[in-house]
Structure 1
Amino acid sequence: MTESPFNNQIMTLSEVAEYLKVAEKTILRMIQKGEIPCAKVASQWRFMRPMIDDWLISRMNVIPKNDLSSLLIKEGSLVPLSRLIRRERILTGLPAGSKEEMLDALIAPLSLSRENRKLFLKKLMQREDMSSTAIGQSIAIPHLRRPEENIITGPEVILGICPEGCDFDSIDSKPTYLFFLIITDSEVVHLRIISRISQIAGDRKLIRKLVNATDGERALGLILDSEKSGKFEAS
């Protein structure tokens, strides 16, 4: 018996279109609007099956609780990634470790009780057990399977930089250097943030500079500069 392509963890554009029963052009429009989770690998769009399933499950969105979330939903294209990243929550020089160690380091800056920290880490690991959130191009985007289960409202992004790189089961089988931990209780906002991060994934020069950043001010400045220029370079 022929194995269904939907049993694969990673789907192509045509496969995800068939899976969702829509035209490929519809998927491409959704990508352009940042409405569907995806990543570019070797100039081709790829879709992680567990992330697509998460997205389908979470279509009943939680109403955001603050103005930034509302702005991201209403005018997502106007809210830059830099506005979601606080300088003091950019972690440079992270040592390479296991998935659990990397995730624990990422949530360390959050003001969580010991019990909530363990719970948050457990939920992040449960998501990783389904399929790695390392989308290739040196980047991982850890997040909960269901944004509405976040114990922190957000929205915000914690950036972790591991200069030596670590094995995070990336879809391109290469080391992961940059970790963007997404914190939001809204699926719409979650997808908007993924859209921002996917732009960075397409800029190899920016990625190299971020990996070499030695402090939060430098890293945030690099992101700000790329947003101001509006250019993302693939070379």
Structure 2
Amino acid sequence: MKILDVLDKDAIFIDLKSQDKKGVIEEMVTPLARMAGVKHDVLARVLMERERLGSTGIGGGVGIPHGKLKGLKSLILGLGLSKNGVNFESIDGKPTHIFFLLVTPENSIDIHLKLLAHISGILKNELFRERLLNAGDIGAVLDIIRQEDDAA
């Protein structure tokens, strides 16, 4: 599965305004909840409950908040970029700049794990991360992801 198969341009933030974990999740959930036809607070709660189990800030400036939601019809994915970085309680203790937010239907374990693995795999590429952070607009972000998706 390619990222662009599921990432809608309306769920891309090239300049997140939030300064903390809860704020980032709240900001990114807004268009995703609308697209999925679920309540904003329900979606945010699922993600924050997952964060209480352990931070999804995986280090290297990357966070992948994710969760499963009962009744969701198909997976939803968002991307957020923060130039200044956010304290996301990352495992390396450093600010997080790139966020992929993933929510899948409750019973779709296989697709959830495959997409998480794909996203975390391409985010290991430092040049890819730098290019994303320096993208000037959503079109550039989509082009960068397309190139990486095609190479994977």
TM-score (norm 1): 0.59
1:85–1:157 contact (8 Å) kept in structure 2: yes
Q: Is residue 2:104 matched to residue 1:181?
A: no
Q: 1:136 Cα shift?
A: 1.2
Identity of paired residues, percent?
A: 28
Q: 1:83 Cα shift?
A: 1.3
The answer for unaligned runs of 5 or more in structure 1 is 1-78, 231-235
TM-score (norm 2): 0.88
Distance (Å, rounded) in 1 between the aligned partners of 2:127 and 2:18: 22
Structure with higher strand content = 2
Q: 1:140 Cα shift?
A: 0.9
Indicate how the Cα distance of structure 1 residues 228 and 103 shifts in structure 2: closer, same or farther if over 3 A, else same. same
Aligned residues: 148
Q: Is residue 2:58 matched to residue 1:138?
A: no
Q: 1:228 Cα shift?
A: 2.4
Q: Is residue 2:88 matched to residue 1:168?
A: yes
Q: 1:151 Cα shift?
A: 4.7
Q: 1:168 Cα shift?
A: 0.2
Indicate how the Cα distance of structure 1 residues 151 and 101 shifts in structure 2: closer, same or farther if over 3 A, else same. farther
1:103–1:121 contact (8 Å) kept in structure 2: yes
3-state DSSP of counterpart to 2:79:
strand
Distance (Å, rounded) in 1 between the aligned partners of 2:29 and 2:8: 14
Structure 1 segment 180-219 matched on structure 2, within 5 A: 180-185=100-105, 186-219=108-141
1:132–1:169 contact (8 Å) kept in structure 2: yes
1:99 paired residue number = 21
The answer for unaligned runs of 5 or more in structure 2 is none
Q: 1:227 Cα shift?
A: 2.4
| Runs of 4 or more consecutive aligned structure 1 residues displaced over 3 Å after TM superposition | none
Distance (Å, rounded) in 1 between the aligned partners of 2:74 and 2:64: 15
Of structures 1 and 2, the larger Rg is shown by 1
1:153–1:183 contact (8 Å) kept in structure 2: no
The one-letter code of the counterpart of 1:207 is R
Q: Which has the higher contact order (CA 8 A, sep 6+)?
A: 2
